[in-house]
Amino acid sequence: MFLNVITMLKNILVMLAFGWVLTASSCKKFLDQTPVSSTTTGNAYKTGDDIEAALTGAYNSFMSTNFYQWEIYAHTDVRSDNAYCGGSNDVDYYQLDMNSIPNTNGSVYRAWTELYAAIARANSVLVNIDNIKDESLTDVRRQQIIGEALFLRSFHYYQLVSLWGGVPLERYSNSAASKDINLPRATAEQTYTFIDSCLQVAVRNLPASYGADNVDKVRATKGAAYALLAKIWAQRPEKNYTKVSLYCDSVLLQGYSLVTNYTYLFDGNHNYNTESIMEIPYIANTSGVVNWGTEMLYPTHDNGQVPNDTWQRYCVPSRTLVNAFEKAGDLVRKNASVSFESAPWSDDYWNPCGASDIAVPFAFKAHNPSNWSGGDHTYLLRLADILLLKAEALAMLGDLEHSASYVNDVRSRVNLPDISGDSKLDMLTKILNERQLELAFEWQRWNDLIRYNVAVSTMNGLNETYYICNDDGSMKKGGAINYNFNDNKTLLPIPLTELQANPNLTQNKGY
């Protein structure tokens, strides 16, 4: 039994999410997640349809979690120099912004539990597929399902290891066996090696294409697996840039190409485009498959204006990011990433007096919120990221000329002049800058700073200040922001609730 591509796409797009209620009048209603220790994934798997439904549920993790809907921005762009927390400095996100994060932080707990719940869904497929004796489930489809589930599990573990370092490696999430519960943490190296081993099987099992562009972009393919392999070998502690380069080449052989106009990537009218390797296929105004997270970043407008609903949106673009766009003369990507508009609230960094004639910026790459029912797709992997990663690998391997050519392919699309590198350090600095401009608000900046080993120097070197509203309504600079950043802060704390539930967990240094 092999679901045809149309049926599978329909199943993925109309899957039921966990029930949630969100209204435009509140920005503080989140999904309630079951603790990791209580997660169940079911065991009634008898037919091919059953395992296909379980796989659909595993894909649904991208749509049904706070983490992938919007909180991942707080853990990546907000923690970095790309954005301030916004949201009137709600405590969870202010702590993330300032990188002063206790182990009781609610967003940290949600991220941990939601990612492990997503892993549990993928594990459910992997554990139960061998029990399916239905002859209509062909061997080819069986292997593809295994590949898809392994990719999904790998993608979630990549988020975990990027944020926390080494984590417990759950292979049997619904097992009651003593050897499978209260697992200790693996090291970061062991976690990346585990991800690599899963992706090696995935890349053998996955097809290059399922036969339709829209399906190829929402399900795991060889291209997606190669892209994730490139990223993990660049990010892991003991990097291997020869492998990074080869895996990037494998992605390029899959036939992806840059779209001609950068703004097409985010206008909502060019989904499933040639540059997309994998994306989350939200559909506006539907049940369970909407991108409600967009409303947390960019508000639905009233007659073209920011609504007077009193609460500030999250992930406010920083002056550092805006200045980077302006210094580069990069108006195309600036205007596609940041929208300056008048807003009816004060902002400590841009408009402390709430003056109507002073515009404040919004993270703008998803800009069709539709009153909590948006349909903007979210890229999980796209080609420009891989081209710049290829450039990084070549620079690290000493081939500065070819490295520059990959960067210039990305720059030429937004009408910026070619660059070259005088040295490896110079080339890498330019690539890091290019990645900030190209990939702002796409969850990459934090990992980039960590991978380049410049997180501490970048965060401590920011020339950022608060602004104060004078009695006459004018604004002036207030105190400088001191992040007091150090190496310990590159990782999140293990949530206190998880430490209490699992005596074999150990905390990260500095918490």
175 has pLDDT over 90: no
Task: Compute the average pLDDT of residues 343-360.
Answer: 94
Interval 375-385: pLDDT, tens: 999 999 999 99
Task: Compute the average pLDDT of residues 119-129.
Answer: 96
CB 107 within 8 A of CB 473: no
- Whether residue 235 is contained in a domain is answered as yes
Question: Token pair for residue 248?
Answer: 């990037």
SS (H, E, C) 214-278: HHHCCCCCHHHHHHHHHHHHHHCCCCCHHHHHHHHHHHHCCCCCCCCCHHHHHCCCCCCCCCEEE
Q: State the pLDDT confidence band at 45, using cuts at 50, 70 and 90.
A: confident
200 has pLDDT over 70: yes
Interval 232-250: pLDDT, tens: 999 999 999 999 999 999 9
User: What is the pLDDT at residue 9?
Assistant: 41
Interval 207-217: pLDDT, tens: 999 998 899 99
- Whether residue 367 is contained in a domain is answered as no
- Whether residue 390 is contained in a domain is answered as no
The continuous run of DSSP H or E covering 316 comes out as strand 314-317
Interval 289-338: pLDDT, tens: 999 999 999 999 998 999 987 799 999 999 999 999 999 999 999 999 99
Nearest CA among 254, 228, 230, 226 for reference residue 242:
230
Q: What percent of the chain lies above the pLDDT cut of 70?
A: 90
Interval 271-289: pLDDT, tens: 999 999 999 999 999 987 9
Task: Compute the average pLDDT of residues 266-270.
Answer: 95
* CATH number where 95 lies: 1.25.40.390
- Determine the angle formed by the axes of helices 48-59 and 5-13, rounding to 10 degrees: 50
- Whether residue 16 is contained in a domain is answered as yes
264 has pLDDT over 50: yes
Q: Hunting for tokens 């991108």 — which residue is that?
A: 291
User: What is the pLDDT at residue 336?
Assistant: 98
Task: Compute the average pLDDT of residues 145-154.
Answer: 98
Task: Compute the average pLDDT of residues 453-464.
Answer: 96
Q: State the pLDDT confidence band at 205, using cuts at 50, 70 and 90.
A: very high
Give per-residue burial for 253-278: e unless 16+ CB within 10 Å, then b: ebebebbeebeebbeeebbebebbbb
Point out the least confidently predicted range of 29-38, 138-147, 436-445, 468-477. 29-38
- Whether residue 14 is contained in a domain is answered as yes
- Whether residue 359 is contained in a domain is answered as no
For residue 466, the SS3 value is: strand
263 has pLDDT over 90: yes
- Whether residue 181 is contained in a domain is answered as yes
- Whether residue 223 is contained in a domain is answered as yes
User: What is the pLDDT at residue 460?
Assistant: 96
Taking every pair of Cα atoms in the chain, the longest distance, rounded to a whole number of angstroms, is 78
Domain span at residue 72 reads 5-20+46-254+488-501
Residues 6+ apart with CB under 8 A from 262: 332, 333, 336, 413, 414
User: What is the pLDDT at residue 63?
Assistant: 94
Interval 3-41: pLDDT, tens: 343 344 444 444 333 333 233 333 333 233 333 333 334
CB 80 within 8 A of CB 446: yes
How many distinct structural domains can be found in the chain? 1
User: What is the pLDDT at residue 26?
Assistant: 33
